[in-house]
């Protein structure tokens, strides 16, 4: 193999730039020619592919987002579209691809592998919903961003004796809500993986916090939890017996930006270099995974088969600490 390409796809997150940088630098050191695909699979379909050398990735290590750009690309599910993508790769004699992204992006990578094209995936999703790896690139920084926000909210909540509903990202997965709820001392955590509780019980948590003499009540809600943050707000605002006034903070995309933490810079760098070595060893259809601090390769098919379930021990811990 003499030429490879790298792309970032799906939702961005901190740590993508260190990962791209490590791919480029490891590949250059191994004597490979490297290309970067702009805007994920959308750029691949459009042939938006640029040559990269070690200097092109200087100065990006500490920056959030992805300097290659990214996109959501549902069209990539269509085999005709994927054929166009392969055509662009083959026209430039690119012999292998490294895909950095979450479940949807890694599913796209698996489809390319099934079409006979060498591909290695790197898990990068702030939601930490990719199976077979302890953690994905971007999760650590995002959790720290959320935690800083919860700490700030607690300052004002305590000053005013208020209850806060804090909505965090996670369309289908409550990992961010669960971990930040535990680390942020939330009174209640609501995640899509667990139904309920009924509104009356949520209100009881607020009342209990008040009666116990707490100075605030923090409820962390994952974006994907149903019936949703607004429904809780509407219900609680109709109750005059809570003790606390209720306010809502939706953290939104502030969670996805920012300088990557030490952990994400290191993880992204390790995984990027490992992915290049894997391609050079003739591996394909695999994802780089972190397991008990060691990197390994797992089949992409196993990684994307389901969303990673929440750890029941963590759920129990959150309930116990309420
Ligand atoms: O996939 C990660 C994620 O941050 C989800 O938690 C969130 O629901 C979604 O992306 C938001 O995506 P977009 O930026 O495309 O609206």
Domain boundaries, the chain: 3-138+260-303, 140-257
Q: Which of 9, 11, 104 to mutate to test the pocket of ligand 1 (most atoms within 8 A of CB)?
A: 11
**What number of helices (H) and strands (E) belong to the chain?**
11, 11
- HSE, side-chain direction, 13 A CA sphere, residue 241: 7
CA distance 111 to 77: 8
Please report the pLDDT score of residue 244 as a whole number: 97
**Cα separations in angstroms, 301 against 114, 276, 285:** 10, 20, 8
Q: Would you say the CB of residue 223 lies under 6 angstroms from ligand 1?
A: yes
Instruction: Calculate how far, in angstroms, residue 296's C-alpha sits from the geometric centre of ligand 1.
Output: 27
Residue whose tokens read 């750029």: 43
Please report the pLDDT score of residue 109 as a whole number: 98
Please report the pLDDT score of residue 34 as a whole number: 98
- Does domain 3-138+260-303 match CATH 3.40.50.450? yes
The single-letter DSSP state of residue 92 is T
The segments of the chain whose pLDDT lies below 70 read none
CA distance 189 to 217: 11
Please report the pLDDT score of residue 10 as a whole number: 98
- Does domain 140-257 match CATH 3.40.50.460? yes
Q: What atom in ligand 1 is closest to the CA of residue 102?
A: 1
Q: Which of 169, 220, 228 to mutate to test the pocket of ligand 1 (most atoms within 8 A of CB)?
A: 169
Q: What atom in ligand 1 is closest to the CA of residue 171?
A: 8
Q: Would you say the CB of residue 264 lies under 6 angstroms from ligand 1?
A: no
Please report the pLDDT score of residue 322 as a whole number: 82
Task: State how far Cα 210 lies from the chain centre.
Answer: 35
Residue whose tokens read 């196993």: 302
Instruction: Calculate how far, in angstroms, residue 199's C-alpha sits from the geometric centre of ligand 1.
Output: 26
**Cα separations in angstroms, 183 against 208, 219, 284:** 21, 13, 38
127 in catalytic set: yes
Q: What atom in ligand 1 is closest to the CA of residue 173?
A: 6
Domains 3-138+260-303 and 140-257 share a fold: yes
Residue nearest to atom 14 of ligand 1 (CA): 11
Please report the pLDDT score of residue 225 as a whole number: 98
Q: Would you say the CB of residue 126 lies under 6 angstroms from ligand 1?
A: yes
């Amino acid at each position: 193999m003499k030429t490879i390409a790298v792309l970032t796809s799906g939702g961005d997150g901190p740590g993508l730039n260190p990962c791209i940088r490590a791919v480029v630098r490891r590949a250059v050191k191994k004597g490979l020619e490297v290309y970067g695909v702009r805007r994920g699979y959308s750029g691949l379909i459009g042939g938006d592919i640029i040559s990269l050398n070690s200097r092109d990735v200087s100065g990006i290590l500490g920056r959030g987002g992805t300097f290659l750009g990214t996109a959501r690309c549902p069209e990539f599910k269509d085999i005709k579209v994927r054929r166009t993508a392969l055509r662009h790769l083959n026209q430039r004699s690119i012999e292998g691809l490294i895909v950095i992204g979450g479940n949807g992006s890694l599913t796209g990578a698996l489809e390319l592998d099934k079409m006979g094209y060498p591909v290695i995936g790197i898990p990068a999703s702030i939601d930490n919903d990719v199976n077979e790896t302890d953690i994905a690139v971007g999760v650590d920084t995002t959790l720290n961003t959320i935690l800083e926000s919860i700490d700030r909210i607690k300052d004002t909540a305590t000053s005013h004796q208020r209850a806060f509903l804090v909505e965090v990202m996670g369309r289908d997965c409550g990992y961010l809500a669960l971990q930040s709820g535990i680390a942020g001392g939330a009174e209640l955590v609501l995640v899509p993986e667990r139904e309920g509780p009924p509104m009356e019980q949520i209100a009881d948590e607020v009342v209990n916090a008040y009666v116990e003499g707490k100075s605030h009540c923090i409820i962390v809600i994952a974006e994907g939890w149903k019936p949703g943050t607004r429904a809780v707000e509407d219900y609680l605002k109709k109750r005059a017996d809570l003790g606390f006034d209720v306010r809502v903070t939706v953290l939104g995309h502030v969670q996805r930006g920012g300088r990557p933490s030490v952990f994400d810079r290191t993880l992204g760098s390790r995984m990027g270099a490992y992915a290049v070595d894997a391609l050079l060893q003739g591996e394909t259809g695999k994802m780089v995974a972190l397991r008990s601090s060691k990197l390994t390769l797992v089949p992409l098919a196993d990684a994307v088969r389901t969303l990673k379930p929440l750890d029941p021990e963590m759920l129990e811990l959150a309930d116990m600490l309420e």
